[in-house]
Amino acid sequence: MKISIAQFKSKLGAVEENFSTAERLIEAAKDSDVIILPELWSTGYYPTPVETFADKNGLRTKNFLCAAAEKFNVNIIGGSVIVESDGKIFNRCLVANRQGKIAATYDKTHLFSFAKENEVFSAGDKISTVELDGICCGLAICYDLRFPEFIRKIVLAGAEIIFIPAAWSLKRLTPRQILTKARAIENQVFVVFANSSGKSEIINPLGEILAESGRGEEILTAEINLRDRTEVIKTMNLLGDRNLSVD
């Protein structure tokens, strides 16, 4: 599977310009199997009041992603956008498949209280996986990365690749680089971390960096082979060796 991260720093509140940038980068990465956008790519992280910038039921984003996915015959992990639904505001990831259909949605579960996300967004309450080209993929958003039990639940649901759109500050780069590797190693999965601020990564199940971006606008691409994961698990099956008898 050929995966591309469309990394760019959105302009705060400049929705039309950000949609244009996303469209241009998706076209540039159209030869990929999966393209992933960053967190809150359409608005930047995050303009206030968020209600002013919310996409009602995600309709504009859905139409945009589905049209691009069908046009270029590519799967698109639509980063995340501000969505208003049933009177609540969510930080929502939408996934469009090659057929131009929404294949999955995920609402950010762990809200970053340091940035007061918990005061403006409603938290998601379920994990989300999606099958893309026959591969089970899991979804998380930015701060979710810090919660190992959450990522483990996604892997136990069958995910072999975890896609994580983010707007992670480079001031906290070192812990983030450790966490992406740790989540990959402890779960024996691929981790694709798409960061608006730069230093995006694609990590293999051994915690090795397959590709790492710079800090500016960039298309970061890597080929992953699920057989590599199978070989890692054959050597040391961490999930199979768990002892759940301990209270």
Strand bridging mode 102-107 / 129-132: unpaired
User: Is 108 designated active site?
Assistant: yes
Catalytic, out of 93, 137, 142, 201: 142
Q: Is 177 left (phi over 0), alpha (psi -120 to 50) or beta?
A: alpha
Spell out where the chain has E strands: 2-7, 34-36, 55-56, 75-77, 81-85, 88-96, 102-107, 129-132, 135-139, 161-166, 190-195, 201-203, 209-212, 218-223
- Check 39, 117, 160, 201 and give the catalytic one: 39
Catalytic residue check, 171 = no
State the catalytic residue, choosing from 9, 108, 137, 201: 108
Residue 59: its H or E element: helix 59-72
Residue type at 18 in one-letter notation:
N
Q: Is residue 137 flagged as an active site residue?
A: no
Q: If DSSP codes are grouped into helix, strand and coil, which group holds residue 21?
A: helix
Q: Hey, which residues are catalytic here?
A: 39, 108, 142
